[in-house]
Amino acid sequence: MNKIQITIVGAGNVGRTIAKELIDLAIPMHINIQDPAEHIDAIKEDLRHATSYSKTCTISWNDNNLNAAHYIFIAAAQQATTIGNRLDKAQGHIDMTYDVFKDYKPLTDARIIVITNPVDVITYHTWKASGLPQDRVIGTGTFLETLRFDYYLADLFEVEANKAKGVLLGEHGNSAVISFSQCHIEGKELNKDKITEAAELAIQAPYKIRKAGEYTKYAIAKCAVGIFKGIHLKEYMQLPAGLILNKKNHDLLDCEPICLSTLVTIKDGLFKQSDLSILPQEEIDELKKGAQILQEHTLKRN
C-alpha cells in the first residue's frame, strides 16, 4: 500500500491536533513529527495508539525525512505567541524556519502548509527558505478568522450555519479586512453594523480563549487539514488563505510580493489566488494598509 509522506514540524497543541485530524481521515499515510522536546514522550505513545485504531496510518518521530515529504505542516513555536504582539515576536520563528529548511531538497510535488504565527510572515520566509515555487506554499492566513466570522454571522443574523458566509482578508490578526462585497446571508437583508460586530467578535475570539487558560488548536487544525484535503483529494474549495502575492495583486496594493490572504480557489489539487481588483476600492484601500504593516514586519528581517 503506497502511503503519502507527511511531516509535521512541531508537536505542541496545534501540531498534535493536526496529527490527530490526519489520522482520522483514513487515508494511507505515514506521519513523521519533528519535535525534539523530551516532555512529549507521552504524546508519542498516545498518537501511536491512535494509528492502531485507524489501521491506514503509521507514525514516527524525528526521522530525518523532510526531503521525502509530500506535505509539510509548519506548526512549531518557540513559545506561544501572544495576541497583541505576534508580529513583534516573529524573529525567533523566522530563524527557526530557515534552520528547518537549511538542507531541504524537496520532492517535485511537495506542498507546505504554514500555521506558525505570525503566519503571514512565516509563510513568506518558508517560501524563501524552502526554495519551492509560490504555488507550493500556502498559509492558513485568515481562514481561521473567517470560520469564526461565519459562526458569529449565523448567530447574530439568527440563521443556520450554512446560510451565513463571510470573508475576512489581509493579515491574520487585528488588521484583517471585512470584505462586505463577499458577505452573503441567505434570507436576510445585509446589515453592515451586524456584519462589523460579527467580524469584531471573530477577531477578538483568541483573547476569549486565552482568558479561559487555553490556546487555539481545534479550529486552526481543521483549517490546516481542510486545506490539505482540498489539495490532496482534489476537492473544489474557495477560502481565504495566505499566498505570496502575484505581481498584479502586489502592484495593486503598492507592496512587495509578501504573503497576504486573498480568496483562494483550490481545484484539481492546485491553488490559485483571486484578482483583488474585483473588490470595491474601499476594501482595496484597507488591504493596502494591512499590506504595509505586514511588509514592514516581513522584509525588515530579510
Annotation marks residue 30 as catalytic: no
Instruction: Select which of 30, 172, 232, 250 is catalytic.
Output: 172
Residues 65, 56 contacting (CB under 8 angstroms): no
Measured CA to CA, the distance from residue 261 to residue 274 in angstroms comes to: 10
Residues 17, 221 contacting (CB under 8 angstroms): yes
* 198: nearest Cα among 213, 176, 216, 217: 176
Residues 55, 1 contacting (CB under 8 angstroms): no
CA distances from 131 to 68, 98, 141, 158, 273 (A): 15, 11, 20, 47, 20
Measured CA to CA, the distance from residue 27 to residue 232 in angstroms comes to: 10
Residues 273, 264 contacting (CB under 8 angstroms): yes
β-bridge partners, 30: 5, 58
Which residues are the active-site residues? 172
